[in-house]
Amino acid sequence: MDVSWLSQDRFIIKEKAKPLNYATLVTVVDKIYKCNQCGKNFNNRSNCYKHIKAVHIKQKTLTCALCAHKTDSTSNMSKHLNTHPQARRFEYQCNVCNKGFNNSDNAKIHAVTHEMKQASRAATRHGARDPLVRPQVDQT
């Protein structure tokens, strides 16, 4: 089944995070949130909690549906999904081989390779020298 048209979020399995008692993990003094495990300070609660989940608890709530890779961050999962060709999203697609591109110039450059191969095959059929093959130089 070709699933390349699906959006990336369909390739992500989200698990419910385990509830944590942040009161024992964080100390708040003058609106500064301090991680009790490593002493790192944060200006807001959200960043402190993200730090604790990622660094100390290593709670990975996102799973790749294609290979079971786990991570805790949606940005890391997006980067990971780009390793799977079927999960990539492309603006432009080659009509000949279905290769995808996010830039129209790259798609046009790629299309020229097909045109060159087609011209080469046509020339070879009619007895002309293949323009894609380098001529052999006599080394004597």
pLDDT in tens, 51-71: 887 788 877 778 888 888 888
How far apart, in Å, do the first and last CA atoms of the chain sit? Answer: 56
Percent above pLDDT 70 for the chain: 75
**Residue closest to 26 by CA, chosen among 1, 51, 59, 6:** 51
- The whole-model pTM stands at 0.41
Cβ–Cβ under 8 Å, residues 25 and 35: yes
- pLDDT, position 42: 93
Q: Fill in the DSSP letter of residue 129.
A: P
CB atoms within 10 A of CB 64: 18
pLDDT digits 0-9 by tens, 7-62: 445 666 667 766 667 778 888 889 899 999 899 999 998 898 888 877 888 777 78
